Chain A
Amino acid sequence: MMLKGHRAKVLLALAACVGMSWLPTPTEQRRRALAPIAAFAATIQWARADAAFDEGRLDIGLARAERALEWNPSAAEGWSWLASVLVHRFGAPEFESTAEARRTWVEAGLAILARGEGLAAEPQELAFHAGLVMAFVASLPDEVLEWPGGARTAWTEAAEHFERAKALGHPRADAIAQAAWREVHRPDPATEEGSLDPAALPTEGSSASEQAPPDKD
């Protein structure tokens, strides 16, 4: 019997397979050892994820996006792009028909930004992006997302995100945070669904891109 003489090899292969599936979570330092190659591979995965989203295969696209983030977690653009897709594309009324489903996507986008803050090289950008997302949520008519607590709660969360971005060193977060707090404390309830002063918002392109997937580290 062929296996008889190679029992050790069979056992070695099976043990390696089983053993690796039970290894503990790798540390970030270990993962980043392959960063130069991983960044290139992640770029390809981002392109494939975008193609899958266009074809409506969300599960495949999200799996590829997660793989890209795993391979290159330090690139803030990746976290921002994925969050933008979740919030502004999947969480749009043109994509989901119910407020609950839209809110789920927005919450997933915020969770992605929160996770990215712990891993990306520029966490202040992600905190700032989270603030922008919440400002966007606060500016929407209530029936679009039916956000718990309404616009005032959303503005409060936006202001807290901007404050965190400021603490992390984002250059424009201070002014935006003040504007958001003004919206929180605005006395007239009719303005709770109003929008942030456009002059206080950052100019187009100053935040993470929502138009195209990141193509470089």
Chain B
Amino acid sequence: MRVPLMRLALRRSLWPALLVGCLAVGWVLWNNRVGAASELATWSRSPGILRHAVWMTGILVSGPLLLGRAVAIGHRLAGADAPWCASRPASRLGVLCSSWIGALTAACVLMILLAAAAELGVGTQVSRALQPIGPAELTPLETSESGIVSFELEEPAHENAAVLRLPVGLIATGGPSARIRARLMRTAGGAFVERELIVATTRPIELDLPAGEGPLRLELERVEDGALVLVPAKRAGWWRVMRHPAIASLFLACLGFLVCAALLAWALALGVWMRPAPATALLLAVAIALWFSGGTLGGWGVAMEHIAGGDIPALPTLLGSGLAMAMTAAGGCLGWWGLRWGARS
């Protein structure tokens, strides 16, 4: 590793994104402060919304700038900078890795600042924050009583599971909403949790986990006529309650680190092979596609929606982390290949 090259990449990557990002985030914090007196502030100024606003602004403004600068660094490494970019003889892989570390450090600095700004923007507001920790398989049960639907669930594998979230659908026949009674109980008897609620949207039903051990039984009972409520999936989710919602920004920064590592490696590599503008456009197109897609590497858009809803993103899975590292390595290899074989010469 070449420390001077790391510093060079850090300087080149950081300043444009930092300056413009600070201005944009400052604008958001200002707008939040101006709008705090709204009559809807009770509902619309939730910690999740404020956190989401700061993070989205930072990602949308600083992200493209960071990628653009990384592409430009890769392009210069293969062209104008090649004869002088190391003070001593340095391998091409070393030059590339040093530049990647510098650019990644810039991304980390930005994410730390974003996390700090997001949590400062949230301030001292307190809300219950949930984090997904695993699926809950729903096994339908036969019931003799009409108007009651039952499911069996296994004991949650994670010991901190505290809340069951059940996705529902709604068909507005017989009324715009339905009144149902949801009951989660231990199959062996004993403790149970019951809620009577109006289902007027497709917001998932939340039920706290009753005390005790063993399999569970979920019952949904229609209380009166109204819309049809559907359980569209055979899988619900177990969530745990986080004591410190501010940890959401920390988890986001961790996820962002993995994503940035892969994207910056590919940015440097594409910069070696292509002109900066099309390389940046290609990377942004891929990033946007991943944002809206699902799968192991995608789903960032859904994760940010969870943030807006006050939830905390799930920890990176082993598969996701492995894939991100594999993509990073693949990008590095592509860039090294380009430098070694003189892609720009």
A residues within 8 Å of B by Cβ?
A: 2, 6, 9, 12-14, 16-23, 25-26, 53-60, 62-63, 65-66, 70, 92, 94-97, 108, 111-112, 115
A54 to B308, CA, bound (A): 16
Asked if B48 contacts A59 (CB within 8 A), the reply is yes
| 0 or 1 for each of B82-106: is its CB under 8 Å from A? (1 = yes) | 0000000000000000000000000
Show 12 residue pairs from A and B whose CB-CB distance is below 8 angstroms, ordered by the A residue: A2-B7, A9-B15, A9-B19, A12-B19, A13-B19, A13-B22, A21-B33, A63-B44, A65-B44, A66-B38, A70-B31, A111-B39
Contact of B203 among A56, A63, A96 (CB under 8 A): A56
B30 touches A20 (CB 8 A): yes
| Minimum distance in angstroms from A175 CB to a CB of chain B | 30
Residues of chain B lying within 8 A (CB to CB) of residue A13: 18-19, 22
Q: In the bound complex, do residue B49 and residue A60 qualify as a contact, i.e. CB atoms below 8 Å apart?
A: yes
Interface pair A59/B33, CB less than 8 Å apart: no
Q: Are A59 and B198 within 8 A (Cβ)? A: no
Question: Is B292 engaged at the interface, CB distance under 8 Å to the other chain?
Answer: no
Q: Which residues of A contact B26 (CB under 8 A)?
A: 16-21
0/1 interface trace, chain B 20-41, chain A, CB 8 Å (1 if under):
0011011101110111001110
Q: Is B143 in the interface zone, CB < 8 Å from A?
A: no
Task: Give the secondary structure class of B's interface.
Answer: helix
B120 (CB) vs chain A CBs: closest residue? A21
Expressed in whole angstroms, the Cα–Cα distance for A60 and B38 within the complex equals 15
Known: A70-B35, A95-B200; 9 extra A-B contacts, CB below 8 A, are A2-B11, A17-B23, A17-B29, A26-B34, A57-B308, A59-B43, A63-B44, A94-B226, A95-B176
How many chain B residues have a CB neighbour from A under 8 Å?
Answer: 41
Given known A-B contacts A59-B44, A62-B44, A95 and B177 have beta carbons under 8 A apart: yes
Judge whether B175 is part of the interface by a CB distance below 8 angstroms. yes
Give the docked Cα–Cα distance between A62 and B49 (Å): 10
Indicate which residue in B39, B43, B200 contacts A94 across the interface (CB closer than 8 Å). B200
Complex contacts, B198 vs chain A, CB 8 Å: 94-97
Interfacial residues of chain B within 219-246, with CB under 8 A of chain A in the complex: 226
| Closest residue of B by beta carbon distance from A25 | B34
- Taking the closest CB of chain B, its distance from the CB of A13, in whole angstroms, is 4
Give CA–CA (A94, B25) in the complex, Å.
Answer: 40
Closest to A58 in B: B43
Whether B22 pairs with A16 at a CB distance below 8 angstroms is yes
B230–chain A nearest beta-carbon distance, Å: 14
Distance between Cα atoms of A20 and B33 in the complex (Å): 10
CA distance A12 to B23 in the complex (A): 10
**B309 interface neighbour in A26, A54, A60, A112, Cβ under 8 Å:** A60
Chain B residue numbers with a CB within 8 Å of A65 are 40, 44
Asked if A21 and B201 sit within 8 Å, CB to CB, the answer is no
What is the distance, in angstroms, from A64's C-beta to the closest C-beta of chain B?
9
A9 and B40 alpha carbons, distance in the complex (Å)? 38
- Contact partners of B10 in chain A: CB under 8 A: 2
